[in-house]
Structure 1
Amino acid sequence: MAFYRQLGTIPPKRHTQHRAPSGDLYYEELMGEEGFSSDSALLYHRTIPSAVVDATVWELPDQSTTPNHPLKPRHLKLHDLFPGDLPLTTDVVTGRRLILGNADVRISYVVAQQDSPLYRNSVGDEIVYLESGDAVVETVFGPITAREGDYVLIPRATTHRWLPKGTKALRAYAIEANSHIVPPKRYLSRFGQLLEHAPYCERDLHGPGELMLAEGSDVEVLVKHRGSRGIVGTRFVYADHPFDVVGWDGYVYPWALNIADFEPITGR
């Protein structure tokens, strides 16, 4: 769930010509939920966003789980997973350790100080909770500044990367869904507005405030997707940098919500 937003330059009507001052056409990309039958966003690129130069296998970290049967209580000592200087060589994407999972969701933990590669989850939405540390999340929609206590929602198929900031390691929980992550229906009006009794509202959601216009060729992006043996990965090389969007609008985009802004019905 998010409200309508617009950033950069867009044409007056959808699916019409949008040209640069030089006369060159911008390339339209539609990112939608449930195909074309639900919320979506239209992005306008300077270059063709689907121009793939190469594709190779990306071997994902271990995705296997152990059934908790018979059911036993578990004490997960997550801080012990990244001892000593290990975070210095770890990033938020490739360094995730899967700790819990089922058919609907997977929860990982990571402690990182390295910049992540460009990454896209094509399986479902992600929410990354920052236990501690600060970061900039660069996305195809623009950058988001994330801080301790933030829940950062990344819609499915959003190309992005994590850049930890400061000297403090970034400690994060990554919640990867097999579909979309939305508020409970009881918080929403029938048109999608957060109601008065919801513990947060649209004012608390912080999305990109500016665009990113990066240059580059033969740019590598790690993509997580479904395969014949479950969730697998592909390493794509694109002809041009995906962060070349001159404008976008719609209801699908990344945003952050800080836990300090999540308030009970009783108020402050």
Structure 2
Amino acid sequence: MAHYQRIGDVPPKRHTQHRAEDGTLYFEELMGEEGFSSDSSLLYHRHLPSAVVEARAWDLPDQATTPNHPLVPRHLTLHDLFPGDDWTSVDAVTGRRLVLGNGDVRISYAVCGAPSPLYRNGIGDECVYVESGTALVETVFGALEVGQGDYVILPRATTHRWVPTGRDPLRVYAIEANSHITPPKRYLSRFGQLLEHAPYCERDLRTPSAPLLADAGTEGPVEVFIKHRGPGANGLAGTVHVVPQHPFDVVGWDGCLYPYVFNIADFEPITGRVHQPPPVHQVFEGHNFVICNFVPRKVDYHPLSIPVPYYHSNVDSDEVMFYVGGDYEARKGSGIGPGSISLHPGGHAHGPQPGAYERSIGVESFDELAVMVDTFRPLELGEGGLACDDGVYVTSWVRNDTSTDASTDTSNGGGAS
């Protein structure tokens, strides 16, 4: 995110001596993308950031995937993955269950009640959507308070941990990239500023406000869990580094690379006289995938408009909709509701359930909330996706043909589904 920030104690000139009041020299770390050729930040540590006293293997949660074959659309019920009180001892890192994935992106889900270990994703950026609950995300850059509707963007290799802060479970939907995750390029000037036509701007972003030094004096070794390339399933592996001092020892930093938070309620929807295609709902992008969100909004105002989406075949992409709030009467009979994922694979024609097309005529607004990920390589099912597949969604357009209730259906349940 090319939006300069300066937090804490930094020297007036980069790559020069920076000392504490007692004369101790701080250690400067450049955290940068694409070698030395893209966005970066400089962090000033009290201790050597490269020191490791021990290393051991970390057995990652199951990362194996199964092809979606035979090719069918699917309905995945994520809330069934953590029944009862199973979430109380789960954390937002080691407790993730892989739902869908390919060589570019992995989508996981967790319901959490316990603090996570210190964690660093060495493969790509993470975009974690908070479905419900609250947490403090402590990072080497500072802390971020997060809650319902927040997207948390964590750059690759950012050391951080998730600490739930409320009595209710923390539900997180983790989108892990093999690349960087950024605002769409068409929203940005050539210098990186969000443009006037973008559906959000820099004022909507929340960033760390101060260094996080609460644990800087921790004595003894500290463990950091690292996800990286390796010999495991789908080329992924895990390692635990034991470091001599706590990594949250940064006294200050500046630059254009850092974690930040954007709340879905601050997304300003783009609408038109006739139905707008999903790119108007885009919020972020990574290599070979995009992230969109569908928010409450006024809909098409052409006198002959049909507000629900036209039936469509995504010949170049798989479409994943995560339904997180609002009214999904247009999916009545399919079983889809809050906590559901619909997977519509490339080449399959899909759209609203039977009857919704006609019932939407004259509707002026949709009350819905959903996060969509479109991938440009086929998605496979992780163990979590296999465990919560309802097994019957493929026939829902047939089963719903005579079972919908035209008197209650006033919304669509997704501008792309």
Q: Which amino acid aligns with 2:132?
A: S
| Whole-angstrom CA distance in 1 between matches of 2:70 and 2:182 | 32
CA contact (8 A) 1:197 1:265 kept: no
Task: Report the equivalent of 1:234.
Answer: 239
3-state DSSP of counterpart to 2:88: helix
- Deviation of residue 166 (structure 1)? 1.1
TM-score by length of 2: 0.63
The yes-or-no answer on 1:44 pairing with 2:44 is yes
3-state DSSP of counterpart to 1:240: coil
Task: Report the equivalent of 1:192.
Answer: 192
Task: Report the equivalent of 2:288.
Answer: none
Q: How does 1:13-92 map to 2 (within 5 A)?
A: 13-92=13-92
CA contact (8 A) 1:2 1:202 kept: no
The yes-or-no answer on 1:127 pairing with 2:132 is no
CA contact (8 A) 2:2 2:39 kept: no
Q: 1:246 aligns with which of 227, 243, 251?
A: 251
| Whole-angstrom CA distance in 2 between matches of 1:71 and 1:189 | 40
Q: Tell me the number of residue pairs that the alignment of Structure 1 and Structure 2 aligns.
A: 268
3-state DSSP of counterpart to 1:80: helix
3-state DSSP of counterpart to 2:65: coil
Task: Report the equivalent of 1:225.
Answer: 228
Q: Which runs of 5+ in 2 are unaligned?
A: 272-296, 299-417
Task: Report the equivalent of 2:356.
Answer: none
Task: Report the equivalent of 2:265.
Answer: 260
Question: Which 4+ stretches in 1 moved above 4 angstroms?
Answer: none
CA contact (8 A) 2:156 2:180 kept: yes
| Whole-angstrom CA distance in 1 between matches of 2:160 and 2:42 | 17
| Whole-angstrom CA distance in 2 between matches of 1:28 and 1:69 | 50
| Whole-angstrom CA distance in 2 between matches of 1:51 and 1:239 | 7
| Whole-angstrom CA distance in 2 between matches of 1:210 and 1:8 | 6
- Deviation of residue 265 (structure 1)? 3.7
| Whole-angstrom CA distance in 1 between matches of 2:2 and 2:164 | 25
3-state DSSP of counterpart to 1:174: strand
| Whole-angstrom CA distance in 1 between matches of 2:35 and 2:63 | 27
Q: Which amino acid aligns with 1:98?
A: L
3-state DSSP of counterpart to 1:186: helix
Q: Which amino acid aligns with 1:100?
A: L
Q: Deviations over 1:56-75 (max 9, x none)?
A: 00000100011012211111
CA contact (8 A) 2:33 2:40 kept: yes
Q: Which amino acid aligns with 1:169?
A: P
| Whole-angstrom CA distance in 2 between matches of 1:115 and 1:257 | 22
Identity of aligned residues (%): 69
| Whole-angstrom CA distance in 2 between matches of 1:166 and 1:39 | 35
| Whole-angstrom CA distance in 2 between matches of 1:91 and 1:110 | 8
CA contact (8 A) 2:95 2:110 kept: yes
Task: Report the equivalent of 2:406.
Answer: none
In terms of fraction of residues, the more helix-rich structure is 2
3-state DSSP of counterpart to 1:75: strand
| Whole-angstrom CA distance in 1 between matches of 2:193 and 2:154 | 20
Task: Report the equivalent of 2:4.
Answer: 4
- Deviation of residue 184 (structure 1)? 1.2
TM-score by length of 1: 0.98
| Whole-angstrom CA distance in 2 between matches of 1:79 and 1:260 | 23
Task: Report the equivalent of 2:364.
Answer: none
Q: Deviations over 1:5-47 (max 9, x none)?
A: 0001111111111000000100011100111110000000001
Q: Which has the higher contact order (CA 8 A, sep 6+)?
A: 1
CA contact (8 A) 1:194 1:201 kept: yes
- Deviation of residue 2 (structure 1)? 3.9
3-state DSSP of counterpart to 2:148: coil
Farther-moved stretch of structure 1 (207-216 vs 164-173)? 207-216
CA contact (8 A) 1:225 1:232 kept: yes
3-state DSSP of counterpart to 2:67: coil
Q: Deviations over 1:210-229 (max 9, x none)?
A: 11112223010000011144
Task: Report the equivalent of 1:139.
Answer: 139
